[in-house]
Amino acid sequence: MKIRNSWKEIGEKSNYKKAAAYKIHLVNKKGEKVHIKRFVGTDTDGVLCIGSTNNMDVRLKKFIYSRKTGKKGHSEAQLLNLIESFNNFKQRYKNYKLQYCFWEKPSKKKAKKEEERLIKKYVKKFGEVPPLNSLIPNKQGDWNKY
């Protein structure tokens, strides 16, 4: 499993057109991770969502489009568009940025498994999914290995 764990700005291409699992997080204008209070503790990495894809570059384009327009393409970005539009998010996190990192995977199935592992690990640590995710994948699965 190869990780591309250098965080990149959300508008920066991944140059990876294959299956991957990814995280998107929030940073302040200095590039420091924004701490997000969660049900159990504080996420010091500022993770907003965890996902998987068949093509990382296409997924990033869909995220940017949905965040900007609020239209279909990336459900977590649509939710972020709503949050940014209808509450004090922009005032609270002045000049914030979004960054992403991803794990290269040989297939969509393996990318989905990695997404599930990352989300379950997050839920075990913080008691809930990342703010823009809506579901815990495979709730009945083996939680002890995460």
Question: Which of these, 100, 103, 101, lies nearest to 2 by C-alpha position?
Answer: 103
The full set of domain ranges for the chain reads 2-136
Provide the whole-model pTM: 0.89
| CA gap 11, 64 in Å, rounded | 7
- Coil, strand or helix: which one is 53? strand
Q: Give the pLDDT score at 142.
A: 63
Q: Could you read off the pLDDT of 52-72 as tens digits, one per residue?
A: 999 999 999 999 999 999 899
Is the pLDDT score of 92 beyond 60?
Answer: yes
Better pLDDT: 139 or 130: 130
Q: For residues 34-49, give the mean pLDDT.
A: 96
Q: Give the pLDDT score at 139.
A: 60
| CA gap 82, 79 in Å, rounded | 5
Q: For residues 89-110, give the mean pLDDT.
A: 92
Residue 118 to residues 49, 104, 113, Cα–Cα distance (Å): 10, 14, 9
| CA gap 20, 110 in Å, rounded | 8
